[in-house]
Structure 1
Amino acid sequence: MNNPYIIDGHCDSLIHFVDGERTLQDPSEGGQWDTRRALRAGVSLQFLAAFIETEYKPARSTSRGLQLIEGAQRFIADYSDQVFLVLGKSDLTRIPDRERIGILLSVEGGEILGQNLFMLDKIYQLGVRALGLTWNQRNALADGVGVPQSQNRLTRLGQEVVLRMNELGMLIDVSHLNEAGFWHVLELSKSPIAASHSCAKSLCNHPRNLTDQQLRALAKHKGVVGVNFYPRFLKETGPVTREDVIRHICHIAEVAGVEAVGLGSDFDGISEVPIGLEHVGDYPYLIEDLIKAGFSAKEVEQIVGRNFMRLLTDVLK
């Protein structure tokens, strides 16, 4: 089969660029994601997350978030020969571009909004097209999975954010959101949603993973789950390899349909990686494994890119 284009629903490399640790250009700088290896591997669209670290919360969440967005803008401007910003449907028509990677800017954590709905419009104007409503903690929108035994649904502000995101054409990301919030989002959202970097709970009982019921509901809503490469989300004990990523992909495809599964590496946001899938340059090996697992060429194309493309086409304006 021809090499399919790849869309990765989540990486945290932006922090390294903003903090001056790496240019994100050269593998010799270290890290798990850079443009050189990504281009060689066939990555055509990368969700680039502005992750607001815990030490900035709550007082400095907005300023840190805006600093990260400014850094993303600078990264895209400085390396316009290698990357371009995806803002809407018209930009999706440029994918795949074998010489440049599309960048979809996301924010991981509704803390950037503070308690102000108008901030959603502001970050949209700055180029943000996806928002994870929470990280693991509670914020003004909802509770994350790290809030013990939380049964809270979205706050009033959280509900307003979901509806406004639908109006703007922003992708709602429920990775890190508690289960009650997940179900509330599905009740409210008129557009399909994503769990950009999550795995299957029935295979690994971790709070960050989704139950089979959640997976089916997400699929019914025409959403996509980007399978996360973090070993602790893939397997509870023992060494973790690329085969464990395939195992989660197969399970989600079986439970929710192949149309519901994608890739969400979490590269540069994870301290451990599966053996054989240690950086973005290893994607071709994952594609080979999908073929060996029995997926057809069409199904492989859906999993590694076309499912996220269909989702973005449905959501973006």
Structure 2
Amino acid sequence: MDKVFIVDGHCDSIGYLSSQTRTLLLPSEGGHWDVPRAKSADISLQFMAAFIESKFKPSLATLRGLELIETAQRFVEENPDQLFLIKNQSDLNQIPDPTRIGVLLSVEGGEIIGENLFMLDIIYRLGVRALGLTWNQRNALGDGVWERETKSRLTNLGQDVIRRMNQLGMLIDVSHLNENGFWHVLELSEYPIAATHSCAYSLCPNSRNLTDSQLRALGEHKGIVGVNFNPGFLKENGPVTRKDVVRHISYIAEVAGVETVGLGSDFDGIEETPDGLENVSDLSYLLDDLTKAGFSTKEIEQISGRNFMRLLSGVLK
């Protein structure tokens, strides 16, 4: 099909940049994501996550998070002809830019703020516009999906974070949050939320995936699910291919509406990829698969990018 612009709701490439193992400027360095291959795939907006590894938690989580944010900021500043930072509506209105990729900074794990609400304002000032409240563990905001048996809602601090994110214009990401926390966020947030890199639990019963009730609720609240390319989230057993990504996209569109589904590759954050989606340059093949699956051109434009753009237009200040 003709080229359409793409918004990818999640990648973890900043970590490789921080460790100086890759520059993200040369495909020959390997990995899943770099600027040339992203441009070849017509990525117009890339969520870049500062993923705070477990070894830094809890005492060094803030320091590590700030290091990753600085790494991403420097990356954008040093490549102004190829990248620009998305911080507000004016920046968002530049998408799609014919020569540059918009970068939206996110943090994967509320541990970055510790137990201090003011840290949320600090990372906002540093350019962060999305926050995953938890990773899989418990933190001071709430419980991740590995704590499902506790059935806990958000803490008092977690509730304050939701309210403050609404005030600032930050996207709330519930991808790793436990189910009761998910429902609590929907009760509190005045704005739509996202699960930037998750899949459908009914198709693959992984704790990171969303139930039909969660999917429908996201649709009703004008939120979005970015379908994750992690084979373990797509299928329980056997080989995983692009068709399994299409299967989850199709299912979420059926359950929650096509306006509720987007892409959240998790490139450079997953150890394996589906066959035929080895890196970001393969995304055009996925869009072709959506055409073959019966999606219209308008629906594919929604899935590939416009749904995320609509969400961000309603959240960013």
1:148 to partner: Cα distance:
4.7
User: How many residues align structurally?
Assistant: 317
For 1:239, give the aligned amino acid: P
1:150 to partner: Cα distance:
2.3
Q: Per-residue displacement from partner, 1:62-106 (whole Å, max 9, x unpaired)?
A: 000000000011100111111100001111111111211000000
1:202 to partner: Cα distance:
0.1
Q: Distance in 2 between matches of 1:254 and 1:140?
A: 36
Q: Distance in 2 between matches of 1:198 and 1:280?
A: 18
Alignment map for 1:181-192 (pairs within 5 Å): 181-192=181-192
Matched, 1:59 2:65: no
Alignment map for 1:271-310 (pairs within 5 Å): 271-310=271-310
Percent identity of equivalent pairs: 69
Q: Distance in 2 between matches of 1:153 and 1:285?
A: 40
Matched, 1:315 2:303: no
What is the CA RMSD across the aligned residues, in angstroms? 0.6
Equivalent in the alignment of 2:26: 26
Q: Per-residue displacement from partner, 1:201-231 (whole Å, max 9, x unpaired)?
A: 0000000000000000011000000000000
Alignment map for 1:109-128 (pairs within 5 Å): 109-128=109-128
Matched, 1:167 2:164: no
Q: Per-residue displacement from partner, 1:118-150 (whole Å, max 9, x unpaired)?
A: 000000000000000000000000000012512
User: CA 1:222–1:148 in structure 2 vs 1: closer, same or farther (change >3 Å)?
Assistant: closer
For 1:27, give the aligned amino acid: P
Other structure's SS at 2:145 match = coil
Alignment map for 1:35-74 (pairs within 5 Å): 35-74=35-74
Equivalent in the alignment of 1:138: 138
For 2:67, give the aligned amino acid: Q
State whether residues 42 and 98 of structure 1, in contact with CA within 8 Å, keep that contact through their aligned partners in structure 2. Answer: no
For 2:269, give the aligned amino acid: G
Q: Distance in 2 between matches of 1:85 and 1:100?
A: 10
1:193 to partner: Cα distance:
0.2
Q: Distance in 2 between matches of 1:178 and 1:147?
A: 7
Q: Distance in 2 between matches of 1:73 and 1:277?
A: 28
TM-score normalised by L of structure 1: 0.99
Matched, 1:204 2:218: no
Please, which runs of 5 or more residues in structure 1 have no aligned partner?
Answer: none
For 2:28, give the aligned amino acid: S
Equivalent in the alignment of 1:229: 229
State whether residues 107 and 132 of structure 2, in contact with CA within 8 Å, keep that contact through their aligned partners in structure 1. Answer: yes
Q: Distance in 2 between matches of 1:269 and 1:150?
A: 27
For 1:113, give the aligned amino acid: I
Equivalent in the alignment of 2:77: 77
Other structure's SS at 1:146 match = helix
Q: Distance in 2 between matches of 1:146 and 1:272?
A: 21
Q: Distance in 2 between matches of 1:247 and 1:236?
A: 13
Q: Distance in 2 between matches of 1:89 and 1:312?
A: 8
For 1:218, give the aligned amino acid: L
Alignment map for 1:198-277 (pairs within 5 Å): 198-277=198-277
1:3 to partner: Cα distance:
1.0
Q: Distance in 1 between matches of 2:181 and 2:312?
A: 22
For 1:222, give the aligned amino acid: K
Other structure's SS at 1:47 match = strand
Q: Distance in 2 between matches of 1:246 and 1:126?
A: 36
TM-score normalised by L of structure 2: 0.99
Equivalent in the alignment of 2:102: 102
For 1:279, give the aligned amino acid: N
Q: Distance in 2 between matches of 1:36 and 1:194?
A: 27
Q: Distance in 1 between matches of 2:239 and 2:283?
A: 20
Other structure's SS at 1:147 match = helix
Q: Distance in 2 between matches of 1:150 and 1:34?
A: 39
1:2 to partner: Cα distance:
3.1
State whether residues 202 and 211 of structure 2, in contact with CA within 8 Å, keep that contact through their aligned partners in structure 1. Answer: yes
For 2:99, give the aligned amino acid: E
Please, which runs of 5 or more residues in structure 2 have no aligned partner?
Answer: none
Q: Distance in 2 between matches of 1:145 and 1:6?
A: 28
For 1:209, give the aligned amino acid: N
